[in-house]
Amino acid sequence: MIVILFYDYEVFKHDWLVVIMDTDTKQEHVFVNDVDAHNNFYQAHKNDLWVGYNSNGYDRYILKSIVCGFDPKTVNDFIIVQNKKGWEFSRAFNQVQLFNYDVQRSKLYSLKQLEAFMGHDIRETTVPFDIDRKLTNAEVEEVIFYCRHDVQETMEVFAHQLNEFDSHVSLLKEFQLPLKHISKTQAQLASVILGAEKRESTGDDNDIVFPETAQIKKYTNVVNFFKNYHPENNKELKADISGVPHTFAGGGVHGAIPKFYYECGPDEYMIMADVDQLYPTIMIQYDLLSRAVKEPKKFSNILDTSLLLKSQGKKKEREPYKRICNITYGSEGDKYNAMYDPRNRLLVCVFGQLLLLDLIEKLETISSYQLIQSNTDGILVKINKRDFEIFDDIVYEWEQRTHLHMSFDFYKKIYQKDVNNYLVVDYDGNHKSKGAYVKKLSPLDYDLPIVNEAVVNYFVNGTPVKKTIYECNELIKFQKVTKISGKFSYAIYGKRKQSERVFRLFASKTGKQLMKVKNGVPQKISYTPDVCRIINSDVTKEKVPTWIDYDWYVEIAKKRINDYVS
């Protein structure tokens, strides 16, 4: 049986240590400068699964450096100071077997930020990593304490995104890949599964062709734009489509009525029409799968299976197939991926825009038709119920001609800031939202949650903003998490210099301002209160104190609502 080991290394000039937690025996293993004990443990567990945060970029190379007999500090500086990839340090690393899974799903957030979102203690060790001597026993114990904390937090993050791990493992199982591939990204797995072989550029990366099935007669300005399109120019075309401002570009089309609110009357439909698996379908139907894939039929079978399992409602069974379908398009634009094919990636996107524009043009023949928004793979429209049969017929003809397929969802009400920020409510009172202001927050993305809650409650239920905010007694919902990036030297709270770089702030009636400092000059931190208190200890069970400034949160919520409706 494979055991899962969670681990984290800390490296100083004259010391290194690692904390490892064994999920099978529930034991903790700590090694401090003990190469023999460390390597014996590795040999006993080299067939197990090692899990860390940013371990693909850092920790696995520190482990391998110790196993290979290199100085871990030298490898640390190679990665951190010289900003090089760990695998570049030595080919000897290739001989050290390590099944490593990296919990870090996004480079946007550090582990400390995720800890802050979860409401946990984010205080850091006071021992500086650039200390120019051996650590004292007390300092070693302090570093172990905080290292242990980070391992426990990595386990917590892993638990919150277990579905990501499950989907990763399901890809290995479904396509019979060995465990050594667990450290690959899902984009890399996709290229392995599809048997892609890196191809040399044929000089046609910017050649533009159009789908023969498209029938665009009115909006020829968009067609002409793409005839002369070149990715390096990065130009956009702004055009009025069905009375709605649109932007066309190499990355997709976006259009929406700005600051739009509407509630359907009894004789109206608001329809969200989305193309099922748009990009994967275009790749197959128009022969635009990466030319590095030697067996396109394999991808076609994966797509067919994904759509079949969707129709059968088998969400879990569908996941590995859906993942491959969704990842493949992005892989075509990744020059480090074997599926890299910028020409086909560009054409997939251009074809998608033109085919969607084709449909919009045809729908304009419906007298009651109003376009509300269009995006990468669908449109939101309003029509009279009596015109639904005409609408359905037009979509059906378009589907037959373009070889694409659409699904319909019906909504009663919409609040729209722009195409990337909206909230729609269906006839059962359920809502769907997109955008930072109204999205459903997760424990790993829990920033100003009371403001999101207040905005959504106002839109969906008509609840006054003050009622939502003033009646909440959970302190964690008022947190604002901010990180001081490496572009700044440090932060100051009032006039006091702070050693930490991640902070959990709360707007308060009394307190000071947190500012970031660059070249000795303090600067305001965007989207933070001018008067705040810092609580970097655990707040998961804390109640709202009397000093909280409710009105700051009320004003933020009202401003966001005003961004949606005039």
Q: How does pLDDT run across 23-34, given as a tens digit for each residue?
A: 888 899 999 999
Ramachandran quadrant class, 259 (left: phi over 0; alpha: psi -120 to 50; beta: rest): left
pLDDT digits (tens, 9 = 90+) for 223-261: 999 998 887 777 899 999 999 999 999 889 999 999 999
Which of 3.90.1600, 3.40.50, 1.25.40, 2.40.128 would CATH assign to domain 220-411?
Answer: 3.90.1600
**Spatial distance between the Cα atoms of 197 and 186, rounded to a whole number of angstroms:** 17
**Spatial distance between the Cα atoms of 469 and 464, rounded to a whole number of angstroms:** 9
Q: Pairing state of beta strands 49-52 and 4-11? A: parallel
Q: Name the 3-class secondary structure at 411.
A: strand
Going by pLDDT thresholds of 50, 70 and 90, the confidence category of residue 533 is: very high
Residues ≥6 apart with Cβ < 8 Å to 277: 303, 306, 307, 325
Amino acid at 209: V
**Spatial distance between the Cα atoms of 522 and 530, rounded to a whole number of angstroms:** 13
pLDDT digits (tens, 9 = 90+) for 34-88: 999 999 999 999 999 999 999 999 999 999 999 999 999 999 999 999 999 999 9
Going by pLDDT thresholds of 50, 70 and 90, the confidence category of residue 565 is: confident
Phi, psi values for residue 50, rounded to 5° = -100, 130
> What would the two tokens of residue 407 be?
């699904």
Q: Is pLDDT at 208 greater than 90 in this prediction?
A: no
- Report the residue count for the chain: 566
**Spatial distance between the Cα atoms of 424 and 459, rounded to a whole number of angstroms:** 9
pLDDT digits (tens, 9 = 90+) for 109-147: 999 999 999 999 999 888 989 899 999 999 999 999 999
- Which H or E run includes 300? helix 296-311
Q: Is pLDDT at 566 greater than 70 in this prediction?
A: no
Mean pLDDT across the stretch 495-520?
A: 94
The confidence score (pLDDT) of residue 202 equals: 73
Ramachandran quadrant class, 527 (left: phi over 0; alpha: psi -120 to 50; beta: rest): left
Mean pLDDT across the stretch 406-432?
A: 94
Share of the chain above pLDDT 70, in %: 99
The confidence score (pLDDT) of residue 48 equals: 96
Question: How high does pLDDT run on average in the chain?
Answer: 94
Going by pLDDT thresholds of 50, 70 and 90, the confidence category of residue 205 is: low
The confidence score (pLDDT) of residue 228 equals: 86
Mean pLDDT across the stretch 258-275?
A: 96
Taking the alpha carbons at both ends of the chain, their separation in whole angstroms is: 60
pLDDT digits (tens, 9 = 90+) for 312-366: 998 888 888 898 898 999 899 998 899 999 999 999 999 999 999 999 999 999 9
**Spatial distance between the Cα atoms of 533 and 117, rounded to a whole number of angstroms:** 16
